[in-house]
Amino acid sequence: QINCAGVTIVRPIIYGNIATPLPPKKSAETDHTHKWTVSVKGVNGEDISYFIKKVVFKLHETYQNPLRTVESPPFEISETGWGEFELTMKLHFIPESGEKPVTLYHNLRLHPYEDDGSILTSNKGKPVSSFQYDELVFTDPTETMYQILLSN
């Protein structure tokens, strides 16, 4: 396999979560307070599955089967829960790429915080979202990976 030495290709991604409070009745039955979805996606709806093979989400150990594997888009997990925690998303690339997996860290956010860290009560009931932009950098890609990245 020839490598494209000296070549760097960058692909932007967005990852994070949205969360919505559960209705009080539902919350009373389960002690869960929010429904949330954590996801990794392309920018402006770009499909990233041409170079990402699967994403393994690692949830807090209070969840059953905390390791969740998603093998096709959308690369996301929806759950309900009561607390915030740091989760990881391990991105596995297509085998032709020869790339090692990349781990992203995200603080799952359920509550609308003010800049000073207090919870914004006027926002009660509304969804919150917490996403960040990042760039995946492929240095000296294999020739196949180079072609796949540039033809999509």
Closer CB to ligand SLL, 16 or 81, in the complex: 81
Closer CB to ligand SLL, 24 or 95, in the complex: 24
Q: How far is the CB of 76 from ligand SLL (least distance, A)?
A: 17
Closer CB to ligand SLL, 101 or 127, in the complex: 127
Q: How far is the CB of 33 from ligand SLL (least distance, A)?
A: 8
Q: How far is the CB of 28 from ligand SLL (least distance, A)?
A: 15
Q: Is 110 exposed, middle or buried (0-12, 13-18, 19+ CB in 10 A)?
A: buried
CA 82 to chain CA centroid, Å, is 19
Q: Nearest CA to 92 among 64, 63, 72, 108? A: 72
Rounded to an integer, what distance in angstroms lies between the CA atom of residue 101 and that of residue 26?
Answer: 38
Query: What is the binding site for ligand SLL (CB under 6 A)?
Result: 60, 62-63, 81-83, 85
Q: How far is the CB of 131 from ligand SLL (least distance, A)?
A: 20
Closer CB to ligand SLL, 60 or 90, in the complex: 60
Q: Nearest CA to 85 among 72, 103, 66? A: 66
Q: 104 Cβ partners below 8 Å, 6+ apart?
A: 15, 40, 88, 89, 90, 91, 134
